[in-house]
Structure 1
Amino acid sequence: MKTQTMSVREFMAGDYKKEKKQKRYGSIARRVGASITVPMILAKPAFAATTVEAVPATAKEWMGEQTLSALAHVLDPVVDILVALSFPVASVIIVGACFLFMMGNSEKAWGTITNASLGYVLIQVSPLILNVLKQVGNAV
């Protein structure tokens, strides 16, 4: 197998593929190409525009407002499930911490209650945080 060296520009342009195809289909391609291009050269353009203006397209315009809206709300069901499950899970963890109190391990119990409470509050506030991030992204 022969190793071929080329620049990135040559690779991206795809010229290396054309050489192989031209060797394989050279004469047929020339005949077909000539039969197509001669009428095209002699024909008058039907709907030719006089001026062509390039319209700059930002990512927002290219993707469309509906697509961006759909992407912004992809994680909404996951966030809703986490918000719904946070109270039962935090309750079970706090009850477990109360058993740690009864067994005499109060430091671990207070740490567990603190972590469960903080986790519950952060999960309940997460939709607000996500909305703020979305608004910041829209502003940029």
Structure 2
Amino acid sequence: MRTESIEFQSFMSGEYKSKKRLHPKWITVAKGSIAIPIISSLNGSFAFAATQDTVAPVVASTTKESIIHAFDPLIDLMISVALPIAGIMITGGALMIMLGQKDKGFMLIMNASLGYVLVNLSPLLLSLLESVGKAI
């Protein structure tokens, strides 16, 4: 088993990656007087990251992508169902206006329209949230 000790600053900045390693098995990051083992995966990304108190799991990028895209069929289903539901709600709102309940009718039409737009924007909002998460 190969053990390497690197400085915490170079670990956080990513400078240690510039060195070529053939088959990394274990890397030890020294934090003060504590050495925390980090298990390296096959593709070079880390399975565990070092923190001061604990070893927190970090999901590899391929696993993150598969988890994120696992919900794509559900999102596509919600987008497909949104138009008929919004159509029914808008028709119900128009009927309520015809029956003399203008406030409830317009509120129903407005909520159906806003909900339809938000459901169709949900993939954009999720990709925005994903990019914010990557930036942090």
Query: Is TM (by shorter chain) over 0.5?
Result: yes
Residue 139 (str. 1) matches residue 124 (str. 2): no
Aligned counterpart, 2:116: 120
Kindly report which structure 2 residues correspond to 1:92-131, keeping only aligned pairs within 5 A, or say none.
92-131=88-127
Deviation, 1:53, is 1.4
Matching of residue 82 in structure 1 with residue 33 in structure 2 = no
Unmatched segments (≥5 aa) in structure 1: 1-48
Structure 1 Cα separation of the partners of residues 98 and 39 of structure 2: 62
May I ask how many residue pairs the two structures share in their alignment? 91
Between Structure 1 and Structure 2, whose CA radius of gyration is higher? 1
Provide, for residues 97-130 of structure 1, a one-character-per-residue CA deviation record: whole Å limited to 9, x for no partner.
Answer: 1111111111110010011011011101111000
Aligned to 1:61: 46
- Residues 135 and 65 (structure 1), Cα distance of their counterparts in 2 relative to 1, 3 Å cut: same
Query: For 1:52, what is the secondary structure of its paired residue?
Result: coil
Q: What is the TM-score with the length of structure 2 in the denominator?
A: 0.60
Distance (Å, rounded) in 2 between the aligned partners of 1:64 and 1:107 = 51
Residue 3 of structure 2 aligns with an amino acid whose one-letter code is: V
Percentage identity across aligned positions?
A: 33
SS of match in other structure, 2:70: coil
Give the letter aligned to residue 83 of structure 2: F
Post-superposition offset of 1:52 = 2.6
- Residue in structure 2 matched with residue 39 of structure 1 by the alignment: none
Q: Separation in 2 of the partners of 1:127 and 1:58?
A: 34
More strand by share: 2
**4+ residue runs of structure 1 moved beyond 4 angstroms?**
56-60
Q: Which shifted more, 122-131 or 62-71?
A: 62-71
C-alpha RMSD of matched pairs (Å): 2.2
Distance 1:58 1:133 in 2: 28
Question: Following TM superposition, by how much is the alpha carbon of 1:58 offset from its aligned partner in structure 2, in angstroms?
Answer: 8.7
Alignment gaps of 5+ in structure 2: 6-26, 30-37, 48-58
Considering fraction of residues, name the structure with more helix: 1
